[in-house]
Structure 1
Amino acid sequence: MNDSLYPCLWFDGQAKAAADFYCSVFKNSKILTNTPMVVTFELNGNKFMGLNGGPTYKFNEAVSFVITCETQDEIDHYWNNLTAGGQEGKCGWLKDKFGVSWQVVPTILSKLMSDPERSSRVMQAFMTMKKFDIETLLKA
């Protein structure tokens, strides 16, 4: 029995373009298969399927993909690449040019938020941010 679990993303004829784009943003990524209807690809070891399903369904924020980042350079890389042609949101959220929602989050955030002395200050700081700034969070 195969216990593999992976998301299928519904595109309006842009599945291959999206897969190519995501593979250019994420290291260690590749196209696995490509047919006119379906493209499967891997981003940092995680499998995805892109389906050319037509205009019936659109992406929304009800589903987002979380990217945890160790450094500000990583945050900047993902934020700058994924917002190109897309839309910045608040608190590390963004939509890429295909309408897919992402959260670009520093790994240190959970530690800062679990500190009762700092958590409210950290939350106040990041509530004013679009892209997370690690240095500002550490100073809060």
Structure 2
Amino acid sequence: MKVTQHLWFEKDMESAVRFYTSLIPSSFVGWISTIPADNPSGPADSVKLAGFTLGDQRYMAIEAGPLDPFNHSFSIIIECETQAEIDHLWDALKEGGSTEHCGWLRDRWGLSWQITPKRLGELMGDPDRAKAKRVSEAMLKMVKFDIAGLEAAASD
């Protein structure tokens, strides 16, 4: 079996897909097509489809007008090795969108993302529960994650 996430865009799906694949290493657009004139879903050329890969995850996308907006019940988590990776993704994805606490943001299409450092999981899993608690408290105060700040909380 293969599992593929599916994203429904009201409009501008191709721009979103091309933007996402430009940000994540080892990502690519596999195909983009338009459903021809005889489609039952609407006027000719009104429905577009795409297949793409972000990192090691497969996605399909459709642009077919309004349905349900994206919400927090689906998000894409990007685990980053470095602060530079976090900063790059954060700055690109928040453009035209909005930021939230704990590494969450919504991009200009409304899709939710969690931009997290790999180090956060390591620090939260530390057997020293007092250290993990300090890291957790520091994390809850952050909007964009700051690896140095998490490390400082761990060593206090």
TM superposition outliers: structure 1 runs of 4+ over 4 Å = none
The question of 1:17 aligning with 2:15 is answered yes
Q: Deviations over 1:49-101 (max 9, x none)?
A: 11112112100011111100111011111111111111111000010111000
Q: Kindly indicate whether residue 150 of structure 2 is the aligned counterpart of residue 137 of structure 1.
A: yes
Q: 1:1-140 alignment to 2 at 5 Å?
A: 3-36=1-34, 37-115=48-126, 116-140=129-153
SS of residue matched to 1:34: strand
Amino acid paired to 1:34 = I
In 1, distance between residues paired with 2:121 and 2:25? 24
Aligned partner letter, 2:70: F
Structure 2 spans left out of the alignment, 5+ residues: 35-47
Q: Given residue 55 of structure 1, which amino acid in structure 2 is its aligned partner?
A: P
TM-score scaled by length of structure 2: 0.84
Between the aligned partners of 1:27 and 1:112, the Cα distance in structure 2 is: 25
- Whole-Å separation in 1 of the counterparts to 2:26 and 2:124: 30
Between structure 1 and structure 2, the one with the greater Rg is 2
Aligned pair count?
138
CA RMSD of aligned residues (A): 1.1
Query: TM-score with structure 1 length normalisation?
Result: 0.93
2:107 is matched by which residue type in structure 1?
D
Any stretches of 5+ residues in structure 1 without a counterpart?
Answer: none
